[in-house]
Structure 1
């Protein structure tokens, strides 16, 4: 759920800031964003921890899966005290983009009393969890050799709101070497079968065909055992079939097929492939499950109502996000990854000279082009403030009719976690979503507000669109009315804690009305439920007695519609002070560095806080430009005052943020952080003779004419290929050697000084 311009696909950021915003707005408050006229975005479920998947049960309950493996049930959209129906956290590998990511309910739930889950299992195929305990030490290193895990599809039997009996594992497969491109979606089709999506589990930094895994003592290359070698054998072009090529495993000259980078159609009772699947006659049980393949990270998919079509949001690498359409699950569809990205060839894998890709390039029509793709450098819908750069398509759903205007009937909604936007692709004259009819639905406003970080879209009660904001810990509902819309109450309390007597200034000027009409204000400052303690956009109150108060603001528009928001004020207690003692912000790192950290916290009321009162988070910020960055939570450290972590491999520009949060006995907390920038180096690539093309992992859209230079982090792994033969100035040139002695396609570990690499060619 990482990176990007887009290196690793997925999500996260330091969630604390988002949670504070949600708390300030209050349950039911709308976020700051741009919506079409008549629409309103409201938080309906909150207080969750990294929610990833949402399902509405026919009996009105709502089931929410959290990334850690905890599953919650809300009795209704007004329930503020969900129950934990299951806790799979010991089995779930919750690290980087890994976790519990897919969840489904049978159409006749709870008559069929099961919850289906899809998650990263914290052990290799056939192993026993927990293996890595939601971490990945160095060695092997998350982005160097990878910490090998698998994935599970399971069903959990439910009685009431409680899991009964053991987990029934239907499939334990999906070899995943690197901590992204993990599993994705579970859904029941109208045929009653269970559909499953999963990514390739390969490197998100480099071209990966099965060569990684043995850079440290005891490490094994090709740990997934992909052909034509076995575990311990580093694969080489042209015949390598590992890494991202697991997405093409159904085409291997001699199996076995893997489930990575594929879409499956299964018997929900057994997990087996079903009659009608394209490869059902195969003796390979995995092949019998596959209905589509050649996808990188099909994180979310849906079915078009009234059809068997699958519509898949496939998170791309550096250049393209795709929406792919499987017209019928009985006919195999190959979407081309890693040989293709978007509608064109993927330059990095083309340059590696892989026979699996060459066979596709030489066979027109062998790959299904995306139904729609958007470029990372372009706005999906152009408007002031629309975002470009880092991208990851993380939600997809069809609108089936309800209160929305009729033009939305049959529209395809899709969301991007990195851009914080949701769009609508309205239907054309043939009833299919029309890429020429794109609308911004939840967009970015002039102040930078956006749709949180959506990771799941669902159509729920009333036919409304709901979305899961993972970092915000919330579920949102988007409603529509042609009548007067209620205003949005929003206010600040400054300070929100402190010694008594505590003077607090309240400011409600951020409240707004969709129709831009005048607002009236009424305050409940002592939290007793009675408004009228003050009127006007601002107010002040002195809290003389220690305690926790919940003051509220009610705003009313000129047509009588109201909205209420509340905050928490703590009198007689002050937030603790968190201090990071090390590392200093002046520290710069290279890949593989062991970085020690330490800190402490003090509190006016409690004195020095123990280690159990603090927690740390390590976040990677990846930037498409120096000012356009998005964040990925890498790791947390709870209940320790000191420790260490290993600087990960990641593309540049990027930087690390280490945050320390302290919480006192009264529940107040504070967070401080330090930014840690990497050491960088410039790699220059040339050819002899000059002007030929090379492919480098940083410039992997297509082979690039030499000379060119790239800035990378010292110690990072950088794959490079010298395509051969090449046509240049009417002559044909064949590759002969690299100046560093590496083979035609190889990985360069970035040195500490600027270095030039030259590929020599000979004229044929």
Structure 2
């Protein structure tokens, strides 16, 4: 009986793998995938390229000069909430100026050219590892951004540091008056390296890399402390908020998006997994494995207007084993 169950599970995984197709190949570490209202797919590559894919054609919009090495480079991307009426694209990337740093900038898209950079927030802690840099807009019209601890765990608990945090900004980079810490862009603290960030209605969720145990899926709330490096996993204390879900040993959870029914979809780098989580309130009631290593490291996922999952591989990031067409953006049924 156990053998039959195992064979059925393997057949299900094989069938799922057969449903994947390659949309774009020959990429260099695609990092963030975002769909525009007109169905165009915008994405970044860590080396500095910003592209748009529409009607079967890829167009390079910009090549930024970035500090590229280790986990650093061009990372997060977000579109203006009323894009393309307001043709602004927000990017988070690494640069060098008296040391390794990250910044968040706003660019203006004109035709097929991305330019007119306006720096919103600079001097974010950066390094060879743990740069965070995921961006998303909330239903409140504010820009939310993740930052990592840049390899210095102590930063995550320091309110005066912007490392190891989730930030909340106005679209011009100023600090909202109703942020939890007056005059500070910090929205939550105690993060190690949050790599995914998505709103489902008014609820904000993040995925975060653990040190060797306790990868986390967190519900992010204003002013809360998520524990790194003091505590990890699902345990809450008087000071710290526990995760909704944790994985030990770690999978290196990364990109995050949500289906129309609110199910979370997350990717993982080390395990090469794509997972679907169903929530009831603040409980994960189902954790379904969709892909399990068939395509190597998986960096990000975006739910397309067709309801399919668009997934970026990350096999050329220095830690993977590239295959013939890598890196790629795949299309997978949920």
TM (norm. structure 1) is 0.39
- Please tell me whether residue 273 in structure 1 is matched to residue 168 in structure 2: no
Within the candidate set 113, 119, 122, 2:87 is matched to 113
Q: Which has the higher contact order (CA 8 A, sep 6+)?
A: 2
Which deviations, in whole Å up to 9, do the C-alpha atoms of 1:724-764 show, x marking residues without a partner?
A: xxxxxxxxxxxxxxxxxxxxxxxxxxxxxxxxxxxxxxxxx
2:122 & 2:287 partners in 1: Cα distance? Answer: 39
2:88 & 2:275 partners in 1: Cα distance? Answer: 33
Match of 1:335 in 2: 226
Within the candidate set 431, 441, 444, 2:290 is matched to 441
Q: Secondary structure at the match of 1:245?
A: helix
- Please tell me whether residue 372 in structure 1 is matched to residue 245 in structure 2: yes
1:169 & 1:336 partners in 2: Cα distance? Answer: 30
- Please tell me whether residue 392 in structure 1 is matched to residue 246 in structure 2: no
1:35/1:441 contact within 8 Å kept: no
Within the candidate set 36, 44, 51, 2:30 is matched to 51
Which deviations, in whole Å up to 9, do the C-alpha atoms of 1:318-338 show, x marking residues without a partner?
A: 2210111124xxx31100111
How far does residue 183 in structure 1 lie from its aligned partner after superposition?
2.9
1:41 & 1:424 partners in 2: Cα distance? Answer: 16
Match of 1:173 in 2: 123
Match of 2:108 in 1: 157
Equivalent residues in 2 for 1:42-121, closer than 5 Å: 42-76=21-55, 78-79=56-57, 82-89=58-65, 92-121=66-95
Match of 1:19 in 2: none
How far does residue 476 in structure 1 lie from its aligned partner after superposition?
1.2
> Could you say if the C-alpha distance between residues 461 and 366 of structure 1 is closer, same or farther in structure 2, counting changes exceeding 3 Å?
same
1:426 & 1:337 partners in 2: Cα distance? Answer: 25
How far does residue 185 in structure 1 lie from its aligned partner after superposition?
0.5
> Could you say if the C-alpha distance between residues 122 and 370 of structure 1 is closer, same or farther in structure 2, counting changes exceeding 3 Å?
same
> Could you say if the C-alpha distance between residues 275 and 454 of structure 1 is closer, same or farther in structure 2, counting changes exceeding 3 Å?
same
Question: What's the C-alpha RMSD, in Å, of the aligned pairs?
Answer: 2.2
Which deviations, in whole Å up to 9, do the C-alpha atoms of 1:530-569 show, x marking residues without a partner?
A: xxxxxxxxxxxxxxxxxxxxxxxxxxxxxxxxxxxxxxxx
2:131 & 2:17 partners in 1: Cα distance? Answer: 38
2:51/2:60 contact within 8 Å kept: yes
Match of 1:410 in 2: 262
1:337 & 1:463 partners in 2: Cα distance? Answer: 35
> Could you say if the C-alpha distance between residues 249 and 179 of structure 1 is closer, same or farther in structure 2, counting changes exceeding 3 Å?
same
How far does residue 417 in structure 1 lie from its aligned partner after superposition?
0.6
How far does residue 109 in structure 1 lie from its aligned partner after superposition?
1.3
Q: Secondary structure at the match of 2:119?
A: strand
1:273/1:290 contact within 8 Å kept: no
Q: Secondary structure at the match of 1:334?
A: coil
Match of 2:195 in 1: 299
How far does residue 373 in structure 1 lie from its aligned partner after superposition?
0.5
How far does residue 443 in structure 1 lie from its aligned partner after superposition?
2.1
TM (norm. structure 2) is 0.88
1:247/1:293 contact within 8 Å kept: yes
Q: Secondary structure at the match of 1:463?
A: coil
1:298/1:315 contact within 8 Å kept: yes
1:85 & 1:373 partners in 2: Cα distance? Answer: 38
How far does residue 184 in structure 1 lie from its aligned partner after superposition?
2.3
> Could you say if the C-alpha distance between residues 272 and 469 of structure 1 is closer, same or farther in structure 2, counting changes exceeding 3 Å?
same
How far does residue 343 in structure 1 lie from its aligned partner after superposition?
4.0
Q: Secondary structure at the match of 1:246?
A: helix
> Could you say if the C-alpha distance between residues 436 and 62 of structure 1 is closer, same or farther in structure 2, counting changes exceeding 3 Å?
closer
Q: Which runs of 5+ in 2 are unaligned?
A: 1-10, 316-325
Q: Secondary structure at the match of 1:34?
A: helix
1:161 & 1:452 partners in 2: Cα distance? Answer: 32
Which deviations, in whole Å up to 9, do the C-alpha atoms of 1:475-495 show, x marking residues without a partner?
A: 111136xxxxxxxxxxxxxxx
1:198/1:298 contact within 8 Å kept: yes
Q: Which runs of 5+ in 1 are unaligned?
A: 1-31, 125-147, 203-242, 251-256, 283-287, 346-363, 377-389, 401-408, 445-449, 481-764
> Could you say if the C-alpha distance between residues 301 and 33 of structure 1 is closer, same or farther in structure 2, counting changes exceeding 3 Å?
farther
2:269 & 2:69 partners in 1: Cα distance? Answer: 18
1:39/1:479 contact within 8 Å kept: no
2:29 & 2:12 partners in 1: Cα distance? Answer: 21
How far does residue 39 in structure 1 lie from its aligned partner after superposition?
7.9
Which deviations, in whole Å up to 9, do the C-alpha atoms of 1:369-402 show, x marking residues without a partner?
A: 11110110xxxxxxxxxxxxx63111222111xx
Within the candidate set 245, 265, 268, 2:154 is matched to 245
